[in-house]
Chain A
Amino acid sequence: AIQLTQSPPSLSASVGDRVTITCRASQGVSSGLAWYQQKPGKTPNLLISDASRLESGVPSRFSGSGSGTDFTLTISSLQPEDFSTYYCQQFNDYPLTFGGGTKVEIK
């Protein structure tokens, strides 16, 4: 199975900061990568698919990039509602796999 390693596992940031989360795959997944946001006690919310395709209704401050094995989720200006845990997911091949998550906390 393809392993996804997210870094950092957690970070502290302030409102207005630019935040970058990385996801590295153990083998190439082309552009088969998605990003989800999960708030405490809630279900995951799809943010980005195909590595860089922003889902409908997702604020433009979120962006994704990368292909192959290295991917990035960027939040250009962190807002209060963005404090959550973020997961990457590869869908290039089965079994699907998720990264371990990155918890974004308030500094």
Chain B
Amino acid sequence: QVQLVESGGGVVQPERSLRLSCAASGFTFSTSTIHWVRQAPGKGLEWVAVVSTDGKTTYYADSVKGRFSISRDNSRNTVSLQMNSLRPEDTAVYFCAKARGGDCSSVSCYRVLDYWGQGTLVTVSA
């Protein structure tokens, strides 16, 4: 079965860095686009970043552009999110999620999320 397991969350001071990891199993990782989505406590979903299957193409939300960096290692079935210059407003549960794949005649193949990890909590506080 599909599994996505996030790790690396914790409490960090503002302006410090943190690196999240997402370990994947149960599907063909190397052909799956992977996203990060976050959810602040009691709030809605916010898309954060995406990495293409070969790791060469990435996109970011405006709120994290220039501070966060997404990457992947297809040999280890992992995706990482390097978060620098963290701010209190980055406090959230961070989910990794896989894009649905399948019929790629539609961009939904790459941009609609069919499996999500359970998330890892990042708290940015002095």
Bound pair (A, B): yes
Interface residues of A (CB under 8 A from B): 1, 32, 34, 36, 38, 43-44, 46, 49-50, 55, 87, 89, 91-92, 94-101
Q: Is the CB of B59 within 8 A of A98?
A: no
A32 — which chain B residues lie within 8 A by C-beta?
Answer: 107-108, 111
**B62 contacts A49, CB within 8 Å?**
no
Which chain B positions have C-beta within 8 A of A94? 50, 59, 111
CB of A97 within 8 A of CB of B47, answer yes
Q: Which residue of A lies closest to B93 (CB)?
A: A43
Q: Are A50 and B60 in contact (CB under 8 A)?
A: no
- List, in ascending order, chain A residues with CB within 8 A of B68's CB: none
A49-B112, A89-B113, A100-B44 known; 16 new pairs, CB 8 Å cut-off, are: A34-B113, A36-B45, A38-B45, A43-B116, A44-B116, A46-B100, A50-B108, A87-B44, A89-B112, A91-B108, A91-B111, A96-B111, A97-B47, A98-B46, A98-B47, A99-B44
Contacts of A36 in B (CB 8 A): 45, 113
The answer to whether A34 and B108 touch across the interface, beta carbons within 8 angstroms, is yes
User: What are 27 pairs between A and B in contact, CB < 8 Å?
Assistant: A1-B61, A1-B62, A32-B107, A32-B108, A34-B108, A36-B45, A43-B117, A43-B118, A43-B119, A44-B45, A44-B113, A44-B116, A46-B112, A49-B112, A87-B45, A91-B107, A91-B112, A92-B107, A95-B60, A96-B47, A96-B50, A98-B44, A98-B45, A98-B47, A99-B44, A100-B44, A101-B45
Q: Which residues of A contact B62 (CB under 8 A)?
A: 1, 95
Query: What does DSSP make chain A's interface, helix, strand, loop or mixed?
Result: loop
Q: What is the chain B residue whose CB lies nearest that of A101?
A: B44
Verify if B106 is at the interface (C-beta below 8 Å from A). yes
Q: Is B95 an interface residue (CB 8 A)?
A: yes
Query: Which 10 residue pairs spanning A and B have beta carbons closest together?
Result: A91-B111, A43-B116, A96-B47, A94-B59, A98-B45, A101-B44, A49-B112, A49-B108, A95-B61, A34-B112
